[in-house]
Amino acid sequence: MKKFAALGGSALALLAAVGIGLGVASSDAEARTFLRIAGGIGGSSWEVTAGKLGNMFSNASPDIQAIAQPGNMGENLARLKRGEADLGITYGFVFRDVASGTGDFGAHHNPDLRLLAALYPAYQQPLVKNDAPWTSLRDLAKNPGDINIVMLTPGSATYVITEAMLRAVGIELDDIRANGGLTLPLNYSQGLDALRTGRANIVSINGPQGHPSVLEFENQGRLLTFDQEAIDKMVELLPGSAPATIDADSYAFLSEPYDTVAVFTSLVVNASVPEKVVYTITKAFWDNVDEFRATASYARATDISNAMVGSEDLPVHPGALRYYREKGLVN
């Protein structure tokens, strides 16, 4: 099989040294396809996801060796564009911007990216203290100047998602700032501290059901509710997102399922990766998806019925498309 991404001798030696399993003669190594998967920072869900994908893809064929690289959303997009990664983890709505060259992430325009699969949802969860004066998101619109919201840094996915959430109920970030409110560029841990001290009164969290930050605060807090109009508007503002429901047993303060909006963590691949290779790893992933679901709680929601979520008018890799046609997901 033709080699796709060649690694020099020093790189192969390094991989062997860290136990990647390249205990083969150089002639055998030359016949392999090496895939680099841009993942996440240490301890993150994206790091775990990329590591598991690397393992599953390497087990798919003796001709494929996949390794995970640390990264983050911006770094992953940059590596993919520079050809320093072959696959990468991102969000579906971010991929839409990157593929089209429009929207908040259009500066990362890369016409050579293709979708391989939407994996699992990340649910929008606006966390407040029990004694907050609001019940629903729409209540926030009554006085935007009362809002002190943690939404991570400008340019981050959470920032863009939060902006869409607020716009869905008629609030612009400038409305908050002009009326004395705050948009705070803090991470989730800092945000919880700010919520405790009163510096913040909302932490905008995006992630799995049973999110660690929400669990840490579940005896002191609750989630602001979405009405259907807000859900529909947010989905309109954030192409690639979808209505979603968090199970009632996810948090102690929930007495019934919680309706919200989810964006999907997605796996994208460079168009130059051969069709046969992408078909092989796509098949290996979905045929063994229970193995992936067992990786972590957030992975349990991975389902092939969502593999193409938000892919309308977006390029899907021919290798993945071949598998989805076999499964009847696309014509």
Tell me which DSSP letter residue 161 carries: H
Are residues 217 and 249 located together in one domain of the fold? yes
Residue 8, pLDDT score: 39
Q: Is 2 helix (H, G, I), strand (E, B) or coil?
A: coil
Statement: residue 14 has pLDDT above 70: no
Are residues 160 and 189 located together in one domain of the fold? yes
Question: Given the structure tokens 């014509």, which residue do they identify?
Answer: 331
Residue 302: domain span: 9-119+266-326
Statement: residue 138 has pLDDT above 60: yes
92-116 confidence digits (pLDDT tens)? 989 999 999 988 889 999 999 999 9
Residue 19, pLDDT score: 36
Alpha helices in 288-326 (DSSP H): 289-293, 318-326
Q: How many Å apart are CA 324 and CA 330, to the nearest integer?
A: 6
Are residues 113 and 127 located together in one domain of the fold? no
Are residues 244 and 134 located together in one domain of the fold? yes
Statement: residue 45 has pLDDT above 50: yes
- The fraction of the chain above a pLDDT of 90, given in percent, is 75
Are residues 169 and 270 located together in one domain of the fold? no
What average pLDDT does the segment 213-240 reach? 95
Residue 7, pLDDT score: 40
234-281 confidence digits (pLDDT tens)? 999 998 899 999 999 999 999 999 999 999 999 999 999 999 999 999
What average pLDDT does the segment 10-38 reach? 53
283-295 confidence digits (pLDDT tens)? 999 999 999 999 9
Are residues 163 and 274 located together in one domain of the fold? no
Are residues 47 and 156 located together in one domain of the fold? no
* Count of domains forming the chain: 2
Confidence of residue 309 (pLDDT cuts 50, 70, 90): confident
Confidence of residue 310 (pLDDT cuts 50, 70, 90): confident
- The tokens describing 69, both together, are 């690289």
46-67 confidence digits (pLDDT tens)? 899 999 999 999 999 999 999 9
What is the crossing angle of helices 275-287 and 45-60, to 10°?
110
Residue 31, pLDDT score: 67
Residue 1 lies in a domain: no
Are residues 153 and 106 located together in one domain of the fold? no
CATH number at residue 238: 3.40.190.10
Statement: residue 73 has pLDDT above 50: yes
Are residues 77 and 203 located together in one domain of the fold? no
| Of residues 243, 1, 277, 235, the one with CA closest to residue 114 | 277
Residue 144, pLDDT score: 97
Statement: residue 16 has pLDDT above 60: no
Q: How many Å apart are CA 115 and CA 139, to the nearest integer?
A: 38
Q: Long-range contacts for 322-328 (Cβ within 8 Å, ≥24 apart)?
A: 322/275, 322/279, 323/279, 323/282, 323/283, 323/286, 324/282, 327/286
Residue 43, pLDDT score: 74
Last residue of a domain, one of 262, 283, 311: 262
Last residue of a domain, one of 242, 262, 282: 262
Last residue of a domain, one of 207, 227, 262: 262
- The tokens describing 46, both together, are 């994206």
Helix, strand, coil abundance in the chain, percent, nearest 5: 45, 20, 35
Are residues 195 and 95 located together in one domain of the fold? no
